[in-house]
């Protein structure tokens, strides 16, 4: 199979009753070699999510900032369901809402849901969340069931085009960016955001997106 593109991370959360839980997240990019239409993906996700302790979703990566963007969204999805403050009854829809930092389902699906065109191309970002330490095994099962292979995954790629596209989706202003950069110790006398190091731009944008997720999680309390 070559070098695996699967990125995994273990998390722990404490619910409102001070009970500690662990969960595991995996993200990768796969190419599906069987012909599938959009309805096939929905059917597969529905069946996969019916299995115990697993949440899975295909994601349109156009507005994914980096792996932390996905990990942070998964954290809030898990936390809201544990605390019964979830917006949607479906965890895979909830993931879209937190990826978008927006409680409007249409906004989340339009930005992060897969389209007919993406389904036909068969190259998709895939996310698994489980309360058992079984992500690699479940991921291998998915590859087999979908007749798929892992492909190059540039989720952490840095580019100004990507930065501006995602910044625009979230409605984040230059002033917000500069304030966050300043609070991180970056120079604040720059005339343009592009004068800052691109790594710092992505770190600050990630912080602001996570802030939107955190605010969204508080709305249902």
Query: Is 197 within a domain?
Result: no
Task: Please give the pLDDT value at position 169.
Answer: 97
Query: Is 82 within a domain?
Result: yes
- E-strand ranges in the chain read 7-14, 20-32, 54-59, 123-130, 148-150
Using only C-alpha atoms, the chain has a radius of gyration, in whole angstroms, of 18
Query: Is 174 within a domain?
Result: no
pLDDT in tens, 76-98: 999 998 888 999 988 889 999 99
Which range of residues forms the domain containing residue 94?
A: 7-155
The whole-model pTM stands at 0.91
pLDDT in tens, 92-118: 899 999 999 999 999 999 999 999 999
Task: Please give the pLDDT value at position 221.
Answer: 62
Q: Are 149 and 39 in contact (CB under 8 A)?
A: no
Domain count, the chain: 1
Query: Is 184 within a domain?
Result: no
Q: What is the CATH number of the domain that holds 54?
A: 3.30.2380.10
Sorted by sequence, the CB contacts under 8 Å of residue 59 that are 6+ apart come out as 70, 95, 99, 112, 114, 124, 125, 126, 127
pLDDT in tens, 22-67: 999 999 999 999 888 888 888 888 887 766 667 889 999 999 999 9
């Amino acid at each position: 199979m070559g070098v695996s593109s699967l990125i995994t991370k273990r998390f722990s959360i404490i619910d409102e009753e001070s009970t500690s839980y662990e969960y595991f997240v995996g993200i990768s990019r796969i190419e599906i070699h069987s012909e599938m239409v959009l309805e096939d993906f929905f059917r597969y996700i529905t069946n996969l999510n019916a299995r115990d302790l697993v949440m899975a979703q295909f994601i349109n990566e156009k507005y994914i900032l980096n792996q932390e963007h996905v990990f942070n969204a998964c954290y809030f999805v898990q936390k809201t369901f544990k605390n019964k403050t979830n917006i949607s009854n479906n965890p895979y829809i909830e993931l879209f809402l937190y990826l978008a930092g927006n409680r409007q389902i249409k906004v989340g699906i339009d930005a992060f849901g897969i389209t007919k065109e993406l389904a036909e191309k068969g190259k998709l970002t895939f996310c698994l969340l489980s309360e058992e330490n079984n992500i690699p095994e479940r991921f291998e099962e998915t590859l087999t069931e979908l007749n798929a292979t892992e492909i190059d995954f540039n989720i952490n790629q840095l580019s100004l085009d990507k930065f501006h596209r995602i910044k625009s989706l979230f409605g984040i202003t230059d002033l917000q960016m500069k304030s966050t950069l300043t609070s991180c110790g970056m120079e604040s006398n720059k005339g343009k955001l592009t004068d800052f190091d691109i790594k710092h731009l992505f770190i600050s944008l990630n912080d602001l997106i996570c802030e939107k997720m955190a605010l969204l999680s508080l709305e249902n309390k």
